[in-house]
Amino acid sequence: MITPASRLSGALLVRKERSLVNVVWRMASRKVEKLNDEERQTKLNPLLNSGWTLVEGRDAIYKEFLFKNFNQSFGFMTQVALQSEKMDHHPEWFNVYNKVQITLSTHCSGGLTTNDTQLANFIEKAAKRVAE
């Protein structure tokens, strides 16, 4: 017997399926190519010269930021979080009091992409703004 509750349950399942399909489609359609040799020279090297390091064993970059206190580190993380949402590209990060550790890599591409270098450049600017 079909009841109003079963209709609602069926409608919710259809919505969830559509939502999952949309998420998978968006992820597949957004795949970004890994940095080529020229891009590594022009986009990655400036970051490596400003304190970012290559992560051993994977195609990723890492940097640790130190701030005066937790308020500064949290303000910094808030700026990065908002930008990450706009870019739909999110860092791996860890925070304890005034320390923020960040690793960037594009999982769906299997390594570093222009998304990572763009976010790293934003992160550099955000850290300077917060420290002023």
The 3-state secondary structure of 50-108, one letter per residue: CCCEECCCCCCEEEEEECCCHHHHHHHHHHHHHHHHHHCCCCEEEEECCEEEEEECEHH
Instruction: Give burial (CB, 10 Å; 0-12/13-18/19+) of 55.
Output: middle
Token pair 């949290």: residue: 74
Mean predicted lDDT score pLDDT of the chain: 86
Return the pLDDT at 19: 62
Residue among 41, 47, 57 at smallest CA distance from 117 = 47
Average of per-residue pLDDT across 66-84? 96
Return the pLDDT at 32: 83
- Do 130 and 53 meet the contact criterion of CB atoms below 8 Å apart? no
Provide the residue ranges of all domains of the chain, joining segments of one domain with +.
Answer: 1-30, 32-131
CATH of domain 32-131: 3.30.1360.20
Return the pLDDT at 38: 94
% of the chain at pLDDT higher than 70? 77
